[in-house]
Structure 1
Amino acid sequence: MKFLKILIYFEISLPIFTLTSSIFHQQSSTTSISTAIVSICEEFFINNSIKFDFIMYGEHSRHLSDVINGVLKKYPKNSSIIIRDMKNFGNWNHILNDSAVIFVKNSTYVHNFNRHAKFKNLYPKHLKILFYIEEPTAKILTKFSEFTTDIPSIITSEYFIINSKKFLQLFTVNHFADGICNQITPTTLNIFFKTSRKWKWELKNHRKFLNFHQCPLTILESYGGALNIESLNLELFACLKAHKSQFCHDLRRNLTKAPNLKLRGLTYELFELMAKTANFTPKYEFLPLSSKNKSEIYVKIWRIPFNTDDPFMHLLMPIYPYEYIIVTTPSEYYTNYEKLLLPFDVTTWILIIIAFLTSFLMISLMEIFHKLSNLRSLHSSFVNVIQVIFGNSVKRPPRKVLQRVVMILFIFLCLIFRTCYQNKLFEFITDEMRKPPPRDLDDLFARSYNIVSYLEPRMFFLLKQKLMPRKKNKTVHVDNQHKVLKFFCANYEDSTAKLGFFMPKSVLGYTNTMCGSPATILKNFKFVDDSMNFGITRNSILYESLSEVIEKLNPSGIIQYLINYDSWVTYDKFDSAVTKVPRILTFNDLSFGFVLWLAACGISVVGFAVEMTEYKMRIAIKNMIGVVVFLSSVKWRFL
């Protein structure tokens, strides 16, 4: 009977004990999981001043409130937390603006997130995503490569906390683990034991490794970009652009094996430095991205706007302002009639005419006021001025000393001007000279130049949106760069063609090579497109790694030296065509003659004042004498 009571008591107590222990175990498990996630948030986000969101997808997670309370309790002021509860996948656009801790039920949610999520800011924010997955570890590892293939390019790193009975595993993905190139491999960063609530190793902010184990990185480059080639003849030029032979195909596949070619430029110099630091093998190619094996990882340099949403590219860093220039055909030649007015500029011609007219008026006025009764003095003064201008002798020199001084100064003035004019005119007539090239963009359009460009999307946008909206000049587009160069060079010697070639500055060397002579650059035109960036394609694992390499190179000043456009050694150091502009005389060249003219003006003014004063005094004295004589005659009559 006593045994029966004990058995009944045990049967009643066992479910209660089991339920109590289960509840205690769940609470303990929940507490340990929240402790682990809070410690990761502290190390990965809060200590690095990274803003982050708490997001839950699917069913409500019992750990979310504990984690949020733990973070807010520990860091009430240093954390910026936005809580989102997304129960479906219908509203993925613009759901993230910062890094995030995401609670999901299974790996399906991770896969959908990586495939469909979009973000507000693509540049320059670099996001980190931490997933807590309640699905058991064994099931996740079998599908790891599936849901980590399409990681959004803006995400620097994705981390995964995977739950199991006794511990939590913190994972990430690598593409170069133990030298296995281009293969996604799950890597365990740390293990958290639920019973002791401790990490197996010290929890540290994980940074991607910099050793690529000599794995090849394909550097894709477009023709005319930042990767430059010296000793490029026309045959190799056509070879890079066309698909004609196996040799050309092999050349485009690997430029480093091309004979007699030397790679230079920003892409080459920078990636050679980065290859030594990060231990990878750079392979330079001119092939388009679509023709390559999807399993490879590429680094491409291209003119990508900072805020672009390109699904194939992951922006790494701005490289340099991409400078565009306008190359024009040589200007027209001067005709002999146009050369008659070339020796002096417009201002000097106006001053010379003013000087001659002023001298003529001064001499004439002095003649008139010296002999008021002689009206022919005006004619004689005009004849004297004309005689002096043409270098003849003065037939009727002035009789007064003051007038002769003014005439001598005027003769010196004419001698200086006439000698300068004759010498410059002889120089211009005996030499063929072109008119000055257009000064700026407005002058280019005022002379009815047509703009030539090739059909590259970014250049087409710049032409239509930035340069041509207020102009009526025709824009000629040719299929590709090689054709537009041939078209431009075919009309290069035709001075009536009036063509302006809008192109990147890096293409100037090819233009000079194909045209056979240095090109004429529009000097006062400089258009800089601040959109040249490194782009990483296909996989974002390179993003943080290459960023760290650049951060290490920055303090040395190497990056700043390389991104300086003018430091690109010899390739872009082609001189512009020197148009022989005639040396036109200006006011500064004839300043001595104008000093003589001012002296003559001063003497004339003084002389004119003296003449007027003398004339008035003579009239006054004459009147006084007349009055005295009249009064004297009247007096004698009365006497």
Structure 2
Amino acid sequence: MNILVIFGAFCQLKPITNSKSVINLAGINFTIFETFSYFSVTDNPIYNVVAIFMGISQLRLPNESFSHSIWLIFILFCLIIRTCWQSKMFEFMTSNMRKPLPESIDDLKKMNYTIMVVENHLNYNNELLNELEISTVITKADILYKTYIDILEEKLEKKFALLITSEWHHFLNLTFKRSLPILHSEKLQKMIYFNFMKNDIILSQIDEILSSFIQSGIAKNLYDYGLWLIAKPFIEEIEDTRRILSMSDLEFDFVIFLIVLCASFCCFICELFWVNLVNYGKKFLRKFFGLIEFLRILKTIMNVYHDRW
């Protein structure tokens, strides 16, 4: 999402010419960026402020054509609608964020989690499944013939789910992006991706791994947003970036906000400079060509007088 915000800051730049085709192209690019933002699950409300600021800042730039103004009004309207919708969605996602964190499988059962095993083969441990009261098993064959979302809609009846898988990284690569929209469903307010390394793993090991996830800052930060998303490849990338910068989530978002703000301001100044440069250039060219024209006329007059003499 951070990349999309920065991308949008540059896509929304008004072109330095009033060519209708270029103006429409800039508007289409920014509209495409907004379309991506509509489908972003991890959107932060601060991005809405940035987007609205960028939309409003364009309205006060000079030399706008009529078609460009229409584009800006339409984009600003979309930003306002999106902000209202996402504020409501953010409130829905964080409505249960103050509930106590589960610390064991028993706590999960008390909180009405549906514990689900996702396996790429059929030789799973039946005793473990019975001990955990797991009744739903998704196999590789199921994933091949149906999408992950369709399987969840059919088999998941309770609000919460704990997904356990052995080759979990392979499974996430296949289904992670396609499963994101399910986070908006009322059936899934929280999802935990859980590393189930061995088929014969014992219950105490599950408790230990789950507790380590819960006690880590990763799980807590994600829980503050109303959901858990324990997916190692994605979490490691985020955590490495923030570890290098030594920043919290809010500080990291604020830095992105400043980057976009500075980019918009610099482009605004550059465009004003360019407009003034063009205006001064036009005046200079007029004077230059006027001087040339004056000299040409003067030369013609001198030639006429020279011929007469």
For normalisation by structure 2, the TM-score amounts to: 0.31
Q: Which has the higher strand share?
A: 1
Higher helix share: 2
Larger radius of gyration: 1
RCO greater where, 1 or 2, for CA within 8 Å and sep 6 or more? 2
